Amino acid sequence: MNPNLNQLQAYPFERLAQLKQGVTPPSSDHIPLSIGEPKHQPPHFVLQALTDNLDRLGNYPATKGIPELRQAIAHWLEHRFALSHVDAERQVLPVNGTREALFAFVQAVVDRSQPALVVSPNPFYQIYEGAAFLAGAGIHFLNCDQQQGYLPDYDAVSADVWQRCQVLFVCSPGNPTGAITPLATFKKLIALADQYDFVIASDECYSELYFDAPPPGLLQACEQLGRTDYRRCVVFHSLSKRSNLPGLRSGFVAGDAAILQPFLLYRTYHGCAMPIPNQLASIAAWRDEQHVVENRRRYRDKFDAVLAELNGCLDVSRPEASFYLWPRVELSDTEFTRELFRAHHVTVLPGTFIARDTPQGNPGAHHVRIALVAERDACVAAARRIRAFVEAGC
């Protein structure tokens, strides 16, 4: 077996199941707010496009995707991020959801003949760590604390870390904090990538779930710098959160053609082409914005209602984007999670399950992630139960 498998930790939801084992909750309905799985209804026209093209399951799909999908993605990127031109032939690659793509990307990009380091925010999406280890790389975590606006302090990173860095993961808006990386920071990172020769992989899967101004993206920073080749830069986007289609497994990678070309070769051997019905349904989703506007409205309404219930109860505030709350709790995050489940049949996720210990501490300690993915009434009911739990002295 690959010895690097021994470095992998149990996935957060496996650890959560173990934490809750043997705990008997009350008979009230369970309200799960731990997994970031959207529960809003998918757009009907996307489902219709999927069912209308089921006969295309009789065709092998190309790993590169059909030209119509790549073009729809290129047009969306140009419109959303004010890009002058995206080459649909060379700068866009459809993928089966960004989870698969993020993992595969590191396997393809890391040069194992050199001491390799992947730099990641902390807390983080667990795929970043697993991808690094299975590619034979080490990982260096940058804490995202409240004092820094929940963004990494890139100025504090040593030259030695940058010199060994081969892939820098940026997550904007952040999971779980919802913090947005400013354009000026993206531009600073691009300069560092040029200086130290690493690739920036920007995970922007929550970019369409915002409350005020649309979050900027890495390619947008490239455009403003006149780098229309997007050198050393790639972005990851998905329909899972934007369009409530987590089961479609549809996303894309876009950016530097010099990186995407060998990544396509890797994926050709990897055997991960998107089924053609899924591609045609994805075209329908990327071409429509009205359902995305409505989706944001529903999340905004939920946040308003839930935060009104939690006001003065938890140390929590509205994030800049995403569908998570990241409150600080007085109990340990694991004890808070277990006892909330025991007392009120509500499940949240301990912050330390999605963060790692560093010399500066664990930024997930005394935090829990609350995913406001359920329908509004369920989220409000959960907030009331959390308030009752906290006010009871827990």
pLDDT at 77 over 90: yes
The residue-averaged pLDDT of 102-129 equals 96
pLDDT at 192 over 80: yes
The residue-averaged pLDDT of 77-102 equals 97
Tell me which DSSP letter residue 29 carries.
P
pLDDT at 327 over 70: yes
Helix residue spans in the chain (DSSP H)? 12-20, 44-52, 67-81, 98-109, 126-134, 159-164, 183-196, 218-224, 239-242, 257-270, 276-286, 290-310, 333-344, 376-391
The residue-averaged pLDDT of 60-69 equals 96
**Longest pairwise C-alpha distance within the chain:** 60
Burial class (CB in 10 A: 0-12, 13-18, 19+), 213: exposed
| Domain 3-41+291-391 matches domain 58-288 at the CATH topology level | no
Count CB neighbours of 261 within 10 A.
11
How high is the mean pLDDT of the chain? 96
The residue-averaged pLDDT of 291-316 equals 96
Strand order in the sheet with 368-371: 324-325, 368-371, 349-350
What residue ranges do the domains of the chain occupy?
A: 3-41+291-391, 58-288
Model pTM? 0.96
Phi and psi angles of residue 297, each rounded to the nearest 5 degrees, phi first: -60, -40
- The pLDDT tens digits for 261-278 are 999 999 999 888 999 999
Q: What's the topology of domain 58-288?
A: Aspartate Aminotransferase; domain 2 (3.40.640)
The pLDDT, as a whole number, for residue 137 is: 96
Return the CATH number of 3-41+291-391, one of 3.40.50.720, 3.90.1150.10, 3.40.50.300, 3.40.640.10: 3.90.1150.10
State how far the Cα of 99 lies from the Cα of 119, in Å rounded to an integer: 17
pLDDT at 48 over 70: yes
Q: Would you place residue 394 in the very low, low, confident or very high pLDDT band (cuts 50, 70, 90)?
A: low
- The pLDDT tens digits for 5-32 are 899 988 999 999 999 999 999 999 999 9
The residue-averaged pLDDT of 283-312 equals 97
pLDDT at 203 over 90: yes
